[in-house]
Structure 1
Amino acid sequence: MFFPLSVHALTIGGYEVPQVIPASSQHAELKLNGASMRILYGVVDTYVGKLYVENPVTDAAALIAADEYKRMVFQVVLKRVSGRRMATAMYEALQLNTTREEAKRLETRVQQIVKMFDTRFTKGENGYIEWVPGQGSRVVVRGEVKGVIPGKDLYDAILRIWIGDNPVGASFKRQVLGLEEYQAPKSVRKKGRR
């Protein structure tokens, strides 16, 4: 059984992270599995990553294997960033979490996602990729559905960017898995107290 690390509202980088996404006509209630700040080069906050699922678990393999609705949210914290840059970074991270054969099989579909993210994001805006059982990976940018790409193997590969063997960051992975709670780096915490 999964017990969330905290029941209080979580705030990361000044952005509130809801514990629950209410049920809709398309999905059951989604619960926060975990969230973290993606920090580039150890100093640049890029986005708040939030993972919502129907049934939170702390085991990466079980989370990837589950064929239930999942949503990976990317909330931009930079002043401006191109969606293509974010998608290209995702593509590069995907290469670290797939075999050469898998990468080749996924290539065309990954390029579709890159095209769907071809926009400019500003601070506070978000996009997400969600697994919709029986349909595929749905890409949503600023609330607009950009498309659905079939194949659970694609979503599993994208999810491994966050929680696979070579994640974007070890602490990011632990936090998204709900194994530890996000804490701002000490330099940021000190800065906030002034």
Structure 2
Amino acid sequence: MGLSATGAWAAEVNGIKFDDSMTVGGKSLVLNGLGVRHKVVKVYAVGLYLTEKKTDTAGVLALNGPKRFRLVTMRDISSEELAQAVLTGVNKNLDKDEKSKYVSQLVKFGELFNEIETGKKGDVIIGDYIPGTGTVITFNGKQLGQPLPDLGFYNAILRIWIGSSPADPTLKPLLLGDKPDA
């Protein structure tokens, strides 16, 4: 997969570098894991940052502090594809009651992608959960829309990758700290 340690960067996957730590909401986060989402072709690289390392989904979701995912596109992708991927991932990983609880936030989340016409290879999407603020999404450094409250909603988004039916089953263990096979 091409993961390696590089200087100030914690890791590199397919030429995309990820810092070993970041600050979100005034708290230091560490890179928990990273990998590449495959769907016939490489779609994006994603890294998960947490206040402390966790190796299972329950542990990640139980953290109440700030969290971040950093996603770097590896091909052009339309806003419709992004929105559809989120809806598909959420539908696979939330039960009916959970989906109904977050339906208004999911609609608002999907609307954020209307601010992006087409994502180009190398674009960066960051999703932060900041206690007291909520979920903040940025695209190439520009905040999209307003923050979406509720840690449970942010965790619903994370479950797209680390839930019981992840978008890419090979990516889940990598985000949970497993090292790729050499």
TM-score, normalised via structure 2 length: 0.88
Q: 1:87 offset after TM fit, Å?
A: 2.1
1:57 equivalent to 2:54? Answer yes
Alignment of 1:96-135 (within 5 A): 96-118=92-114, 119=116, 120-135=118-133
Alignment root-mean-square deviation, CA: 1.9
1:160 equivalent to 2:156? Answer no
Residue 21 of structure 2: aligned partner:
20
Q: Structure 2 vs 1, CA of residues 165 and 139 (structure 1 numbering), >3 Å: closer, same or farther?
A: same
Deviations 1:139-163 (A, max 9, x none): 1111111220011111111111111
* Structure 2 SS opposite 1:85: helix
Identity of aligned residues (%): 26
Q: Structure 2 vs 1, CA of residues 106 and 83 (structure 1 numbering), >3 Å: closer, same or farther?
A: same
Q: Structure 2 vs 1, CA of residues 115 and 182 (structure 1 numbering), >3 Å: closer, same or farther?
A: farther
Does structure 1 retain, via aligned residues, the 8 Å contact 2:5–2:12?
no
Residue 11 of structure 1: aligned partner:
12
Q: Which amino acid aligns with 1:11?
A: E
**1:139 alignment partner, one of 133, 137, 140:** 137
Extract unaligned runs of 5+ from structure 1.
184-194
Does structure 1 retain, via aligned residues, the 8 Å contact 2:4–2:12?
no
Take 1:54 and 1:110, find their aligned partners in 2: how far apart are those partners?
A: 25
* Structure 2 SS opposite 1:88: helix
Take 2:121 and 2:153, find their aligned partners in 1: how far apart are those partners?
A: 28
Structure 1 or 2, whichever has the larger Rg, is 1
Q: 1:135 offset after TM fit, Å?
A: 1.7
Task: State the aligned residue count.
Answer: 174
Residue 91 of structure 1: aligned partner:
87
Q: Structure 2 vs 1, CA of residues 6 and 81 (structure 1 numbering), >3 Å: closer, same or farther?
A: closer
Instruction: Judging by fraction of residues, say which structure has more strand.
Output: 2
Which deviates more, 28-37 or 173-182?
173-182
Does structure 2 retain, via aligned residues, the 8 Å contact 1:35–1:182?
no
Q: 1:72 offset after TM fit, Å?
A: 1.2
Q: 1:7 offset after TM fit, Å?
A: 5.7
Take 1:91 and 1:72, find their aligned partners in 2: how far apart are those partners?
A: 17
